[in-house]
């Protein structure tokens, strides 16, 4: 059995934000692969959709506590970290790009770090979806020691606020152009 865990925040006010890209991709999988509708499973602290040997998981503990739901589901189904695919936003990757990582550190992503802390290993597979933006040829989050979004010389948005912003139309288009690629990559990982 495989768990595909999309990271995001459950409150409707976070819908469509950069930080909720994991939830968005799970919604695409659910629809395109004919999974049943998501339903809240309180014992797992997550919304679940299960089909054959794949479980789609949207933790409902908010991003920074995603490990709670992950650990509960792993324990219940007697699964290991090798059975997990985590889909999440990544500020270090440009919009329109992605990376697949296995057995790598969280790189400051609190939701991923919480999963690693709760299950006791970093040996998980992750689909890291770029939500960073470029300014003057440099990924904006790297233009300062603290990862900011730099709009101009007098304006600055901290990383935590930046990931809670919604995509612009052009950014959303770049993500949509990659959705089929994401689904194909996930199929390869199953």
Residues annotated as catalytic are: 19
Please give, one letter per residue, the 3-state secondary structure of 127-143: EEEEEECEECCEEHHHC
Ramachandran region, residue 107 (left: φ > 0; alpha: ψ -120 to 50; beta: rest):
left
Integer Cα distance of 8 and 15 in angstroms: 9
Dihedral angle of Cα 153, 18, 2, 59, to the nearest 10 degrees: 110
Contact 123, 98 (CB under 8 A): no
Sign of CA dihedral 63, 69, 70, 71: positive
Integer Cα distance of 14 and 35 in angstroms: 23
Q: Is 153 exposed, middle or buried (0-12, 13-18, 19+ CB in 10 A)?
A: exposed
In the block, which residue shows the tokens 């014992």?
43
């Amino acid at each position: 059995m495989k768990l595909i865990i999309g990271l995001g925040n459950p409150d409707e006010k976070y819908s469509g934000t950069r930080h909720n890209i994991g939830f968005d991709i799970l919604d695409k999988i659910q629809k395109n692969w004919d999974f049943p509708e998501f339903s809240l499973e309180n014992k797992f602290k997550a919304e679940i959709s299960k089909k054959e040997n794949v479980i789609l998981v949207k933790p409902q503990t908010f991003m920074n506590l995603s490990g709670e739901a992950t650990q509960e589901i792993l324990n219940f189904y007697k699964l290991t970290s090798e059975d997990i695919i985590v889909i999440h936003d990544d500020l270090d990757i440009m919009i329109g790009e992605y990376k697949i990582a296995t057995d790598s550190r969280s790189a400051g992503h609190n939701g991923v770090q919480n999963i690693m802390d709760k299950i006791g290993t970093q040996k998980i597979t992750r689909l890291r979806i770029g939500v960073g933006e470029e300014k003057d040829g440099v990924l904006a989050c790297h233009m300062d020691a603290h990862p900011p979004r730099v709009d101009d010389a007098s304006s600055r948005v901290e990383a935590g606020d930046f990931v809670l912003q919604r995509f612009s139309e052009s950014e959303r288009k770049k993500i949509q152009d990659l959705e089929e690629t994401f689904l194909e990559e996930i199929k390869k990982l199953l």
